[in-house]
Amino acid sequence: MKVFIAGFGTVGQGVTEVIASREEFFNKRYGQSIKIVGVMDSSTYVTDSGGLDPLKLVSVKKETGKVGKEKYTDALKILDSVDYDTLIEVSPTDYKTGGQGLKNIIHALETKKDVITTNKGPLAIKFGELIALAKKNKCKLKFEGTVAGAMPIINLCHDNLIGENIQSIRGILNGTCNYILSKMDNGQPFDQALKEAQQLGYAETDPSGDVEGYDSACKVVILANSVFDRNVTLSDVSITGITGITEEAVSLAKSRDMVIRLIGEVGEEKLEVAPRLVPKGHPLAVSGTLNAAQIRSDLAGPITISGRGAGRMETASAVLSDLISVMDDRKE
Amino acid sequence: MRLIKNMTHALNDTIINIGQIFSRVKMIVNAELYVKDLPGHLVGSLEPISMVDGNIKGVVHDREQIVNNRISLNVTFEVEDSTRLKELEDIWKARDIIISSIDSVYKTYPMEYMLIGNLTASYIENLMDEAAKKVRVAAIDMRYSSKDHHDNRTAMISVKMREQEDIEVLDSFLRKACKEGNMTYIRGL
């Protein structure tokens, strides 16, 4: 299978390394390997219809800061310049417009390519349209990596729980906020905890997407649309971030054996991101950058999953599961 | 210094006074009875619960505890309201069943709420007084933090509701109040 990788930051490089490290697995399972025929970062690209060396791609990016020598201005032209089967769209997300990622996904689907993405923005803004386009052109659109990184929440709902009536999903969907709130549990003030999260690379220089709750809200939208078959966008979500949480509030919660966590909740009617009081010992009272979610269904009752919500290999793991799913479908 | 105020007793008094209004809320009752140790008397003591449309939850028949040739029977059941409970008590008395003790409780639904902002204890108390007009509160406990450097204070409100649906009603009420008062609102899971 030939893939094109759009976006070559942390996640793109992680995906490339995973494709290299799982070559034997793909050969054994499908009798073929995955060929990377094109890669583009924010300004440069490299293509080779015979396949690019994955590890060389990563080392060039590390050494030069660019993946290719050729610069581009029109990403869609680059996508059209080489034949590929699946677009792996892992460029930085744009919550407001969907950005170039949305254009790349639409273009790939319009040209009848399968798409795997970790890019939340396009799905939070145009989920219904993208699914309809994929359906119309008989393409796969897979997006496990958009929600909670390595935690297989979407595929769990779509595959293992397919016969269940899922009533609600609620959970910690943003590791940065959870890190900050966990630090506040130990007495650190919000500003200091945020600064520490930035120094460790958990939070962006502009942390508003995380701490104002927009990142979690995008994931809530994706879960609502994909698991509950709703047709909602970011503007439908009631969003409260964690910037209003004070040390006094955390301390008062602690006195009642509780912690404050930013919880995203989706149900047939519910669509919310807000700080909630969680009893200590509850499965959602996780600490650090962990994500956790509780799926409530009619037969199985509550199922809790927890895992790393972000990171190079964690997100690459989600892309790998989508790649396998696409290849399994093609095998049939 | 934290000001901790417990309003449980005051509200319980209110609930007792207006208890009849909530007649559709089922009562859970635990009764300690003494019945004659003769064939048929055990069934004869349980049968009246069905006669008042009650629902038996559990029965402990203790043959070890015999007083004046009567054996102890502890029964827990659900009954519609205090009127039906009174009917039951009358039937038991008419059948010569001794009621040693009888306690009734309501099933409650706990929920925690937290409000952060430029607030005072009296504001929160007035707010909860307003809330009590809309929902059936069985017990309420309020705690406050001291003021932070922005003059903000946190109120933590632990509530036990009579009906599960009222959790959503109180949630909407407090959410609206926080929005209007520019306060941060947090609720339990």
Report yes or no: B154 at the A interface, CB cutoff 8 Å. yes
Residues of A in contact with B110 (CB under 8 A): none
What H or E segment, with its residue span, contains residue A142?
strand A141-142
Rounded-to-integer distance, Cα A147 and Cα A20, Å: 24
- Asked whether the beta carbons of residue A248 and residue B112 sit closer than 8 angstroms, the reply is no
Between A244, A274, A284, which is nearest B116 by CB? A244
Q: What is residue B136's predicted lDDT score, i.e. its pLDDT?
A: 87
Residues of A in contact with B158 (CB under 8 A): 256
Catalytic residues of A: 219
Q: Does the structure show a pLDDT above 90 at B19?
A: no
> Is the separation of the CB atoms in A47 and A41 below 8 Å?
no
Q: What distance, in Å, lies between the first and last C-alpha atoms of chain B?
A: 28
> Is the separation of the CB atoms in A11 and A317 below 8 Å?
no
> By percentage, how much of chain B surpasses pLDDT 90?
59
Q: Please report where in the chains the tokens 């995380």 appear, as a residue.
A: A210
Comparing A223 with B104, the larger pLDDT belongs to A223
- Asked whether the beta carbons of residue B189 and residue A274 sit closer than 8 angstroms, the reply is no
Rounded-to-integer distance, Cα A65 and Cα A70, Å: 13
DSSP label of A205: S
Residue B138: HSE in the Cβ half-sphere, 13 Å Cα cutoff: 17
User: What would the pLDDT profile of A172-187 be if each residue is shown by its tens digit?
Assistant: 999 999 999 999 999 9
Residues of A in contact with B187 (CB under 8 A): 274, 276-277
Equal CATH topology for B4-20+108-187 and B27-106 = yes
Q: Identify the bridge partners of residue B43 per DSSP, sorted by sequence position.
A: none
CA A276, chain centre distance (Å): 23
Q: Does the structure show a pLDDT above 50 at B84?
A: yes
Report yes or no: A284 at the B interface, CB cutoff 8 Å. yes
- Asked whether the beta carbons of residue A249 and residue B187 sit closer than 8 angstroms, the reply is no
Among A181, A243, A248, the residue to mutate for chain B (most B Cβ within 10 A): A248
Q: What is residue B23's predicted lDDT score, i.e. its pLDDT?
A: 34
Q: How far is CA A191 from CA A141, A173, A215, A243, A244, in A?
A: 39, 21, 19, 9, 11
Report yes or no: B43 at the A interface, CB cutoff 8 Å. no
CA nearest B28: which of B88, B82, B72, B89?
B82
Q: What is residue B31's predicted lDDT score, i.e. its pLDDT?
A: 93
Report yes or no: A276 at the B interface, CB cutoff 8 Å. yes
Strand A35-40 versus strand A2-6 pairing type: parallel
Q: Does the structure show a pLDDT above 50 at B13?
A: no
Residues of A in contact with B188 (CB under 8 A): 258, 276-278
Query: Tokens standing for B100?
Result: 């040693």
Mean pLDDT for the stretch of residues B50-76: 89
Domain B27-106 has CATH 3.40.50.1260: no
Q: What is residue B14's predicted lDDT score, i.e. its pLDDT?
A: 31
Q: Going residue by residue through chain A (332 aa), what tens digit of pLDDT does each one get? A: 999 999 999 899 999 999 999 999 999 999 999 999 999 999 999 999 999 999 999 999 999 999 999 999 999 999 999 999 999 999 998 888 999 999 999 999 999 999 999 999 999 999 999 999 999 999 999 999 899 877 889 989 998 999 999 999 999 999 999 999 999 999 999 999 999 988 887 877 789 999 999 999 999 999 999 999 999 999 999 999 999 999 999 999 999 999 999 999 999 889 999 999 999 999 999 999 899 999 999 999 999 999 887 778 888 999 999 999 999 988 77
Q: Identify the bridge partners of residue A177 per DSSP, sorted by sequence position.
A: none
In this prediction, residue B181 has a pLDDT band, given cuts at 50, 70 and 90, of very high
| Domain boundary assignment for chain B | 4-20+108-187, 27-106
CATH architecture, domain defined by B4-20+108-187: 2-Layer Sandwich (3.30)
> Is the separation of the CB atoms in A293 and A151 below 8 Å?
yes
In order of their start, the domains of chain A are 2-148+312-331 (3.40.50.720), 156-308 (3.30.360.10)
